[in-house]
Structure 1
């Protein structure tokens, strides 16, 4: 890695301690932060809410003491337009998935762009936060610990995917996306386009795959405890597709 690239990705802060102390601190920040994330994912409510804010506090504190500038974190204009192709590819993949879902009658969710934005604005914000966790909190620390881009990229993507267990759909998708997103971040160092692409792909999965397959995008304990909504059937039609499509298809024969 060149000196300029190392400087751009540095997060050690203005008062960097000795090498041994710095490595221990970096490893501690990463291990505690990731461990808390896993605990939150696998903890039932209401304790989960308390642990959620504890985790946010730790991540915020670790980010603050290691803060080395917004530019290094990818919160910048530079690289935005050069990396917009990532958003374009995400849109193309989403369009293809929607067309396929229409043909297979699995498309469900809001029926207008406005309702889509209203229903998924929270997920959009969450997508940007996930990209911060993946690229800034995890990958940049692994990069400083290992000084190897490939190890940092694969390690961050692997940890990202493990946090989505036991959901098989999200685990596979986040592994692939994690590798791509980390590599793109190292090239353009911009969180905005990655957050946009993440939101597009995530919403696409939510509205094109049946809830019985992706369990409403839940992971951890939420995935295991997921129970589909049970609806009464008024005929013998096999309920293999999404509820919205099934109700529309059954409407002409439904009794009042």
Structure 2
């Protein structure tokens, strides 16, 4: 790793005395934070809401205490246009998926742009936060602990996918996307394009796959407790209900 890259990705604070001290602190931040995330995913309400805010508090505190600059975190303009191709790839993938879903009659997207924005604006914000967790909270800490890019990328992607169990669709997709987005981040270090691509891909899954397959994008306990919502008419025939109505429900129990 070059000196400039190492400096940009460094987040050890001056309050951590010695290598052993900051390594223990980094490992503690990561283990506790990831453990809390899993606890939120697998804990039923109402305790889940309490754990959700505890987790946000821990992540916020550890981010503040190890803050090394917005550039190192990827919150910057530099690298945006150089990584904008990721958004283009996501759009092409989404267009193909929408076309196929339309032919297979599984497409259930909102019929207007306004309804699309109303249904998924919250998920878009959630997508950016997930990229922050993946790149800044997990991968950069693994990179600091191991000093090996391959281990950090694979480890971060693996933890990201593990948090999406037992949803088979999201687990596979997040593993692939986790590796790809971590590699792009190491090269361009920009969270904005990654968040945009994440939102496009997530919305694509939500509106092209039947809810019976992706369980309205839920993970953990929410996935296991999912029950399809059906409408019953006079002939008592079940009809599919759009996931658009439910995709923003229980955000903490769906994607990481």
- TM-score by length of structure 2 reads 0.92
CA contact 1:14–1:68 (8 Å) conserved in 2: no
Distance in 1 (alpha carbons) for counterparts of 2:123 and 2:13: 31
SS where residue 82 of structure 1 aligns?
A: helix
Aligned-residue offset at 1:243: 3.9
Q: After superposition, give the CA deviation of every residue in 1:143-189 in whole Å (9 maximum; x if it has no partner).
A: 00000000000000000000000000000000000000000000000
Cα separation, 2, equivalents of 1:169 and 1:234: 34
Measure, in 2, the Cα distance between the counterparts of 1:111 and 1:18: 58
Name the residue aligned to 2:128: 128
- Structure 2: 5+ residue stretches without partners: 243-256
User: Aligned equivalents of 2:14 and 2:20: distance in 1?
Assistant: 17
Q: Any idea what the Cα deviations from partners look like across 1:5-63, whole Å, max 9, x if unmatched?
A: 00011111344421011100000000000000000000001110010000000000000
Structure 2 CA distance, aligned partners of 1:138 and 1:116? 31
User: Residues of 1 paired with 2:99 and 2:4: CA distance?
Assistant: 44
1:46 has 2:46 as partner? yes
2:100 aligns with 100
Work out the CA distance in 2 between the residues paired with 1:223 and 1:26: 31
Aligned equivalents of 1:130, 1:28: Cα separation in 2: 20
| Stretches of 4+ aligned residues off by more than 4 angstroms | 233-239
**Match of 1:190?**
190
Q: TM-score of the superposition, structure 1-length normalised?
A: 0.92
Question: Bigger CA drift: 110-119 or 12-21?
Answer: 12-21
The number of residue pairs the alignment matches comes to 242
Q: Distance in 1 between matches of 2:103 and 2:62?
A: 47
- Give the root-mean-square deviation of aligned CA atoms: 1.4
Gaps (5+ residues) in structure 1?
245-256
Is 1:80 equivalent to 2:69 in the alignment? no
Q: Deviations over 1:110-134 (max 9, x none)?
A: 1111110111000000000000000
SS of corresponding position for 1:49: helix
Instruction: State the 1:82 CA deviation.
Output: 0.8
